[in-house]
Chains A and B, each alone.
Chain A
Amino acid sequence: MTAIHVSGLRKSYGPREVLHGISFAVETGEVFALLGPNGAGKTTTVEILEGYRERDGGDVRVLGEDPERAGSSFRARIGIVLQSSAVYHLLTVREILELFAGYYPSPRQPDEVIELVGLRGSRDEHVRTLSGGQLRRLDLALALVGDPELIFLDEPTTGFDPAARRQAWDTIRGLRALGKSILLTTHYMEEAHRLADRLAILREGAIVATGSPHDLLADHVGVEIRFRRNGREVVIDTNEPTRVLHELTAEALAAGSELEGLEVHRRSLEDVYLELTREDEA
């Protein structure tokens, strides 16, 4: 079963095309990350899937429906964490969750959701007194209270401190364990690496790589070897580190010299990401 199917999706704002026909699929029960720098088209993509924006071309199916035409029964099956949106700041955490729970046919218990996102201590506080991180957790709680099958998380941990980010990751893993499908956007490589079963890297409205974090590393494997020769920095990028190192060290031994400042560095997903999203090369 496919939770989300996107093929040839196009979108323009005025004369500027921001999505150039992208395709990907998210399987049921999977965490899929849409990764890319600001302006790559992540939010536009997600908002089309959520039904907020109309596409200009291509085919989109979310839970078997076209989000552009889907009605309230569709919205009962999805949960949305927008990038930034306020809540009624004069209600308490509990009141707002009770209000939103009322919108759904079979909601979860508000108290249970409050517990799940770690807001129990602020249950009876007015929303306006919450910190930025607490507000983000409330966003998540509001997306979960309807007990959705599919959850959209648009940059859920932007602005979090490291501890809060780890906590959010645990919550998201918990959702995955419950069998929820999750589409997550982020510009943190580490977040995608830790959470996603599969990911797509978006650059300027096109997908430049897709696969599991492991596959991406395998496709772009490489080891960087650095040392100094006659005071000059030498960098060698190679897929055969053993052979190259062997030759280098043999040469140095024969010459009776030292490979100064020798470093062997395995490329991280971060390096792959930065390489793929670099602006100056096509």
Chain B
Amino acid sequence: MKLFLHELKAQQRLFWRNREAAFFSFLFPVLLLVLLGSVYGDEPIEGVTAATYLLVGLLGYGVAATAFASLAITLVVRREAGLLKRVRGTPLSPATYLGAVIASTVIVIALQVMAQLLLGRYLLDADWPSAPGSFAVALLFGAAAFAALGIAVTVFVRSAEGSSAVVNAIYLPMAFISGAFFSTREMPAFLEAISEVLPLTYLLRMIRATFIEGEGLSGSGSTLVVALWGLAGLAIAIRRFRWAPREGMGRA
């Protein structure tokens, strides 16, 4: 436990010192809220104010951006630089290391969510979550599932240079199709069919249910789908995660 906190502290320090990464994964979802919020106007969307609708979507987007995209890119870059290999050569256990990296991501998400809630409330006049406890659980659950998927996707990314391209090509379209930025009601049927499979669609439903409807999560089908995605990610991560960089040239 002491070792976990030791590593967590280092991971937090590393995250906030890396200004570009901190900007894109922490500040970007917050900025999007402010920018889009000033564009969306007052027309209600799917029965709630535009501001609330937008806030809920961007909360989900923020979880995916930080837990999935930022985590995956960070791990690929560290792997290809040989940093993970170096860590693997110390007595620090892989579980402690990855656990601390994920916990560090969760801290970032928590701060991001708080910033979004406060800005949404006081700048855009959005609502507070109507079931705060279930809402927090939904986000934590989503963060865990997307972190597992983020670790899994590193298996399919071969180079540090390609990591942001591959990861962005996955999660940005996902955010659009899942309805993080606008309502999916007007979407063509084939996109809607795709959105019915994506994990973010279901995380957004979980967030809406707890934030807007004030429902709990027990017996929710959306929770089940997110859990299945998370477990699939975990299975791939456990079986295929690599610590060493891809074999370079000239290494004997």
Say if the beta carbon of A192 comes within 8 Å of chain B. Answer: no
Q: Which residues of A contact B10 (CB under 8 A)?
A: 88, 91, 95, 99
Interface string of A28-54 (1 = CB under 8 A from B): 000000000011111110000011100
B31 at the interface (CB under 8 A from A): no
Interface size class of B (residues with CB under 8 A): 20 to 34
**Closest chain B residue, CB of each to CB of A45:** B252
- Number of chain A interface residues as a range: 35 or more
Instruction: Answer yes or no: B89 CB below 8 A from chain A CBs.
Output: yes
Chain B contacts for A84, CB-based, 8 A: 82
Q: Say how far B18's CB is from chain A's closest CB, in angstroms.
A: 6
Whether B83 pairs with A85 at a CB distance below 8 angstroms is yes
Given contacts A38-B252, A88-B14, A103-B3, contact A75 B85 (CB under 8 A): no
**Residues 95-136 of chain A, each 1 if its beta carbon lies under 8 Å from chain B, else 0:** 100011011110000000000000000000000000000000
Contacts A18-B252, A43-B251, A91-B10; A85 near B90 (Cβ below 8 A): no
Query: Does B86 sit at the interface, judged by CB under 8 A?
Result: yes
| Docked pose: A90 CA to B77 CA in angstroms | 14
Cα–Cα, bound, A100→B7 (Å): 9
Partner of B90, one of A43, A52, A104: A104
Report A-chain residues with C-beta under 8 Å of the C-beta of B13: 90-91, 95
Q: Which of B6, B18, B81, B85 contacts A90 (CB 8 A)?
A: B18
Q: Is the CB of A43 within 8 A of B252?
A: yes
Residue B92 is within 8 A (CB to CB) of chain A in the complex? yes
Q: Which residue of B lies closest to A76 (CB)?
A: B91
Name the B residues within 8 Å of A43 (CB-CB): 251-252
Instruction: Say whether A82 contacts B85, CB under 8 Å.
Output: yes
- Structural contact, B85 and A146, CB atoms closer than 8 A: no
- B16 (CB) vs chain A CBs: closest residue: A90
Residue of A nearest to B77 (CB): A86
In the assembly, what is the distance between CA of A44 and CA of B6, in Å? 33
Interface string of B68-99 (1 = CB under 8 A from A): 00000000001001110110111111000000
A230 within 8 A of B: no
Flag if A83 contacts B244 (CB, 8 Å).
Answer: no
B82 touching A73, Cβ below 8 Å = no
Q: How far is the CB of B228 from chain A (nearest CB, A)?
A: 32
In the bound complex, residues from chain A placing their C-beta under 8 Å from that of B82 are: 82, 84-86
Task: List, in ascending order, chain A residues with CB within 8 A of B239's CB.
Answer: none
B250 located at the interface, meaning its Cβ lies under 8 Å from any Cβ of chain A in the complex: yes
Does B17 count as interface, using CB distance less than 8 angstroms? Answer: yes
Asked if A72 contacts B92 (CB within 8 A), the reply is yes
Give 16 CB contacts A-B under 8 Å.
A18-B252, A43-B252, A44-B252, A72-B91, A72-B93, A85-B82, A85-B85, A86-B86, A87-B83, A90-B14, A90-B17, A91-B13, A91-B14, A91-B17, A95-B10, A95-B13
Q: A39-B252, A95-B10 given; name 20 further pairs at CB < 8 Å.
A: A38-B250, A40-B252, A43-B251, A52-B244, A72-B91, A73-B91, A78-B89, A84-B82, A85-B83, A86-B81, A86-B82, A88-B10, A90-B17, A91-B10, A91-B13, A91-B17, A95-B13, A99-B7, A103-B91, A142-B86
